Amino acid sequence: MATEDKNRATAAAILPLVGGAANVSSIAHCMTRLRLGLHDRSLVDDEALKAVPAVMGVVEDDTYQIVLGPGTVARVTPEFEQLVEEGRAAAPEPGEAAPSVSAEELAAQGAAMKAARKAKNATPFKLFLRRIANIFVPLIPALIGCGIIAGLNGLLVNLGWLTSVTPALAAMASGFMALIAVFVGYNTAKEFGGTPILGGAVAAIIVFPGVANIEAFGQKLSPGQGGVLGALGAAVLAVYVEKWCRRWVPEALDVLVTPTLTVLVSGLVTIFGLMYVAGEISTAIGTFADWLLSNGGAGAGFVLGGLFLPLVMLGLHQALIPIHTTLIEQQGYTVLLPILAMAGAGQVGAAAAVYFRLPRNESIRRTIKSALPAGLLGVGEPLIYGVSLPLGRPFITACVGGAFGGGFIGLFNQLGDKVGSTAIGPSGWALFPLLDGNHGLGTTAAIYAGGLLVGYFAGFLATYFFGFSKDLLTEFNVSQDPAESTVAATGGPTTPDAPAKEPAGV
C-alpha cells in the first residue's frame, strides 16, 4: 500500500470512531499526537480506537489526543482534516432532519461530561502553559533539523573534512536560531488573538543589528538581547495594543492607524524596557541552570529525572519549553533535556519488568512488545497510558528509574562534563544525533548512553521487586484464555482433592 493510501486509511479508520466529522470541532497535532476538539465525548469508542493498527494510545485532556507517533501524526493529520471537510460538506443542513429527543439528551449528557472534564483541567495556570506550548511546539521541527545539521557540521569541522561545505552547513544550522525571536513573536500574536505578522514585526526589532546603536538603562543594547522571552513579551504587548486600537480607532482609519500604533508603542516599550528586562531574566536562567548542575549534580539530576513523568501527567512540563529554548539560544544546547529524557529510560525499564512479572497476561505483554521500540526512541505515551499508569505502582517505579538515570548525568555535569541537546522534542535513542557538550561528541554520547543504561536497569529492578503487590499480581497475572485463567489465578490446577495454591507475590 502506498504511504498516502496508508495515511488516509488510518484517518478514515479514526474518523467514525470519534463520532464522525460532525463531532469534530477542532484539529491540531504536536510531535506525536493528533489533538481533537469534540462536541460530544460520549460518541468516542476508546477501545476500537486503540485497536487501530497505527494508534499507540489515547489521552484525554482539554482535547482528545490520539497517539500516532512522530512522523506518522504529521502525515495522518492533513488526511484527517480533508476527510472532516468532506464529511461536513456532505452532511445535511441543520433543518433537513430533526434529531430525536433521545439523541438530544445523549448529546447534552456528552456535552456535560466534556464540560466537567474541561472545568477540572482548565485552571488558569494550565491554560497559560498550554498557550505557551502552542507557541513553541510548532518550532520544534526546525529546531530538530537545524540541530542535527549543527551536530553534523561540528563533526566535520573536528575531523577537518569537507572544509568548503562546513561554512554552508553552519549557515543552515544558525539561520533559524538567529531569527527564532521573529517566529516566536508571530506564533505568540496568533495564539493570543492578534495579527500574527504584527507580532513578528515587533519581535524582529530584538534581532535587528541596528539596536546596537541604542542605549537603555545606561547600557548599549545588543542584537538578540532578551531572546525568545523578550519576543514573547513584545508580541503579547502588541496584541493588547492592537486590540485597544481596534476598539477605539474609527474604521475608516483602522487600516492605517492600528498597525502603526501597534508597532510604534510596543516597539518603543520593547527597545527601552523589555529587551533589557528579558535579557536579565534569560541570563539568570542560564546562570541558574549551570549553577544547579554544577553544585547540585547528582541530587539535582535525581530530582529532575524522577519528577518529569508526573510533570508530564499534570501538563506542567510545558513550562520548561521556553527555558529549553532560552538555553539553546544562549549556550547552543540545553543541559536539562538529557536529564529529563532519563524519565523515558525508567519507563522502558519498568515496562520490561512488567513483561517478565506478568508471563500469563498475553494482552499486556503484546502491548509492551508493540510499544517498546517507540519507547526506546523516546515516544513514551503508549507505555505510560497502556502499561505503567493503569497498573499504578509501576508508574512510580518508572519514576525511580528516571531519577537514577538523571542522577547519573547530573553527577557528570557536576564533574565538569556537560551533556546537552541542541534541540527539543526527541528523547531516548533519537536524541543521540542532537547531543552536544563541552568535551567532544564521543564523551557526551558515552555519558548519555550510560544514563540510559542506568535508567533502564534502575527502572527494571525497582519495578520487578517493588512494582507489584500480591493483590495486583493476582489480578493481572492471568491468561486471556478462560481455561488457563483458573490456573493462572490459583497458581495451579484446582481439583476436589487438591486445594488452590496461594498466588505468588513480591
30 is catalytic: yes
52-66, 81-95, 160-174, 198-212, range with greatest mean pLDDT: 198-212
pLDDT of residue 241: 96
Nearest Cα neighbor of 386 from 377, 395, 378 is 395
pLDDT of residue 121: 55
Residue 449: which pLDDT band, with cuts at 50, 70 and 90?
Answer: very high
Summarize pLDDT for 342-400 with one digit per residue, the tens. 999 999 999 999 999 989 888 888 888 888 888 888 877 778 877 888 888 899 999 99
Give the containing element (helix H, strand E) for 65: strand 64-67
Summarize pLDDT for 191-220 with one digit per residue, the tens. 999 999 999 999 999 999 999 999 888 889
Q: What is the spatial distance between Cα 237 and Cα 498, in angstroms, rounded to a whole number?
A: 78
User: What residues are paired with 64 via a beta bridge?
Assistant: 36, 60
Summarize pLDDT for 229-286 with one digit per residue, the tens. 999 999 999 999 999 999 998 888 888 999 999 999 999 999 999 999 999 998 899 8
The crossing angle, in degrees rounded to 10, of helices 140-159 and 166-178 is 150
pLDDT of residue 371: 82
Q: Taking the chain, what is the end-to-end CA distance rounded to the nearest angstrom?
A: 47
Which is more confident, 122 or 358?
Answer: 358
Residue 491 has pLDDT above 60, yes or no: no
pLDDT of residue 400: 95
Summarize pLDDT for 290-311 with one digit per residue, the tens. 898 888 889 999 999 999 988 8
94-103, 141-150, 165-174, 398-407, range with greatest mean pLDDT: 398-407
Among 30, 146, 245, 399, which one carries the catalytic annotation?
30
Q: Are strands 64-67 and 57-60 parallel, antiparallel or unpaired?
A: antiparallel
Q: Are strands 64-67 and 33-38 parallel, antiparallel or unpaired?
A: antiparallel
What does each C-alpha distance from 469 to 186, 309, 352 come to in angstroms?
52, 22, 17
| C-alpha grid cell, residue 366 | 503484546
Summarize pLDDT for 6-39 with one digit per residue, the tens. 888 999 999 999 999 889 988 888 777 888 988 8
| C-alpha grid cell, residue 254 | 483602522
φ, ψ at 176 (rounded to 5°): -65, -45
Nearest Cα neighbor of 241 from 270, 220, 271, 206 is 270
Model pTM score: 0.72
Which is more confident, 187 or 86?
Answer: 187
Mean residue pLDDT of the chain comes to: 83
Summarize pLDDT for 255-264 with one digit per residue, the tens. 899 999 999 9
Residue 329 has pLDDT above 90, yes or no: no
CB atoms within 10 A of CB 251: 7
Quickly tell me which residue has 510499544 as its cell: 371
